[in-house]
């Protein structure tokens, strides 16, 4: 298939481009490079053994998107493009709604006009908010608690309405839990600009000596060691899930929703210890007050993805940390 990947130069997008190309698909990437670097293009090509087409553009630019669809005959779209920092979204909600929701509407309208109605959407476990229990199944109530999560939920609702109105659409909503790690080659990985928003890049920078210590937000959560528990998934496992979702859509119309996680939660302190083992470096930390909006634990029930996609996460936390450290310690 010929596949458009929006935001394909970013962390998850770039790993998915690798998996798509290795599965034999042709790939075109559109990215405005707000949170990505052009060097990723050549790194991905080195891993995949061939080049892909790239267009620097913003998906909110209707003229640019229409031009892209007029040049290429796409079979499907994998949609990653969007802003993704929870904290920043609470400070700049209008920017998040404009970029994530507004950009998605332009993309979907352009797809419909071009007759391209197969889509894999990059959603998030944040749509579940603070779950009443764990593990989380796809039929849990949806109640996002911040503008980033709300933007993902709004896009899901738009796609549910679109699929209801037009049976020609084939849509997969993939709800990610906590992607970490990097490609085993060490050529691509997570490269946050400024202070990392996510746990593992922050731990990695502490281990490397770029930061003095890790702040652990609360040690009195109702979890085994008092620190927050999350479902960490290797980014390569996550990327493979997108290939499986496209395979599913090729034979099954309609809208489908899947959790992508490991089905197991790990605490902050467990992740600290795992990274110390992987890196051989100490990770000093300080216990500080809980952050507003945080929750005690969040991990997935992945049974539906296993049954319907034939997909299951393969890598454990030790491997995630090893690959993240290889990327952190060799990438400059």
Q: Of all helices (H) and strands (E), which one includes residue 272? A: helix 268-279
Q: What is the pLDDT of residues 304-327, one digit of tens each?
A: 999 999 999 999 999 999 999 999
**Residue carrying the six token digits 């709004």:** 154
Q: Of all helices (H) and strands (E), which one includes residue 247? A: helix 235-251
Residue 86 pLDDT grade (very low, low, confident, very high; cuts 50, 70, 90): confident
Tell me whether residue 229 is exposed, middle or buried, using C-beta atoms within 10 angstroms of its C-beta: 0 to 12, 13 to 18, 19 or more.
buried
Strands 178-180 and 254-260: unpaired
Q: Work out whether the CA dihedral 109, 115, 116, 118 comes out positive or negative.
A: positive
Please give the CATH number for the structural domain made up of 2-182+232-261+302-310: 3.40.50.720
Alpha helix locations (H) across 72-172? 86-91, 93-96, 103-114, 147-165
Q: Report the C-alpha gap between 280 and 18 in whole angstroms.
A: 29
CB 81 within 8 A of CB 103: yes
pLDDT at 99 > cutoff 90: yes
**Residue carrying the six token digits 């992945």:** 302
Name the 3-class secondary structure at 60.
coil
Q: Report the C-alpha gap between 143 and 204 in whole angstroms.
A: 32
Q: Report the C-alpha gap between 192 and 327 in whole angstroms.
A: 13
Contacts of 117 (CB under 8 A, 6+ apart): 111, 166, 168, 169, 170
Catalytic residues: 148
Rounded to the nearest integer, the mean pLDDT of the chain is 96
DSSP states along 16-79: HHHHHHHTT-EEEEEE--TT--THHHHHHHHHHTS--EEEE--TT-HHHHHHHHHH---SEEEE
Q: What is the pLDDT of residues 222-239, one digit of tens each?
A: 999 999 999 999 999 999
Q: Give the CA radius of gyration of the chain.
A: 19
Tell me, what's the pLDDT at 291?
84
CB 239 within 8 A of CB 13: no
Q: Report the C-alpha gap between 251 and 74 in whole angstroms.
A: 17
Tell me, what's the pLDDT at 332?
56
Tell me, what's the pLDDT at 235?
98
Q: What is the pLDDT of residues 291-307, one digit of tens each?
A: 877 889 999 999 999 99
Within 10 angstroms of residue 160's Cβ, the number of other Cβ atoms is: 14
Q: What is the pLDDT of residues 140-181, one digit of tens each?
A: 999 998 999 999 999 999 999 999 999 999 999 999 999 999
CB 233 within 8 A of CB 244: no
Please tell me the pTM assigned to this model.
0.97
Half-sphere exposure of 2 (CA within 13 A, CB side): 10
Whole-number Cα distances in Å, 284 to 142, 196, 211, 230: 36, 16, 10, 20
CB 24 within 8 A of CB 97: no
Domain-wise residue ranges, the chain? 2-182+232-261+302-310
pLDDT at 118 > cutoff 70: yes
Q: What is the pLDDT of residues 4-59, one digit of tens each?
A: 999 999 999 999 999 999 999 999 999 999 999 999 999 999 999 999 999 999 99
Contacts of 265 (CB under 8 A, 6+ apart): 134, 229, 230, 231, 297, 298, 299
Mean of pLDDT values over 92-121: 98
């Amino acid at each position: 298939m010929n596949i458009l990947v929006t935001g394909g130069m970013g962390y998850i997008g770039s790993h998915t481009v690798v998996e798509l190309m290795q599965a034999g698909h042709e790939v075109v990437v559109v990215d405005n490079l707000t949170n990505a670097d052009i060097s990723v293009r050549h790194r991905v090509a080195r891993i995949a053994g061939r080049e892909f087409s790239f267009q620097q553009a913003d998906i909110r630019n209707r003229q640019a998107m229409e031009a892209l669809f007029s040049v290429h005959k796409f079979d499907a779209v994998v949609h990653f493009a969007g802003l993704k920092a929870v904290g920043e979204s609470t400070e700049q909600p209008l920017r998040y709604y404009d970029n994530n929701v507004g950009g998605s509407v332009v993309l979907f309208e352009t797809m419909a006009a071009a007759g391209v109605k197969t889509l894999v959407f990059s959603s998030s476990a944040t749509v579940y908010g603070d779950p009443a229990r764990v593990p989380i199944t796809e039929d849990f109530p949806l109640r996002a608690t911040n503008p980033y999560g709300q933007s993902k939920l709004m896009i899901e609702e738009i796609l549910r309405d679109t699929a209801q109105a037009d049976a020609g659409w084939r849509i997969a909503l993939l709800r990610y839990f906590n992607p970490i790690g990097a490609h085993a080659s060490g050529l691509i990985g997570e490269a946050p600009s400024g202070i990392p928003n996510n746990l593992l890049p922050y731990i990695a920078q502490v281990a490397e000596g770029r930061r003095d210590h890790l702040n652990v937000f609360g040690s009195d959560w109702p979890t085994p060691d008092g620190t927050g528990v999350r479902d960490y998934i290797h980014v390569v496992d996550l990327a493979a899930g997108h290939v499986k979702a496209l395979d599913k859509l090729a034979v099954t119309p309609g809208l489908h929703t899947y959790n992508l996680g490991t089905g197991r939660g790990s605490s902050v302190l467990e992740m600290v210890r795992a990274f110390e083992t992987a890196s051989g470096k100490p990770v000093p930390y300080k216990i500080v007050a809980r952050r507003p909006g945080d929750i005690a634990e969040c991990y997935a029930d992945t049974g539906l993805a296993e049954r319907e996609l034939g997909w299951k996460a393969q890598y454990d936390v030790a491997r995630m940390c090893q690959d993240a450290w290889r990327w952190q310690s060799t990438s400059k």
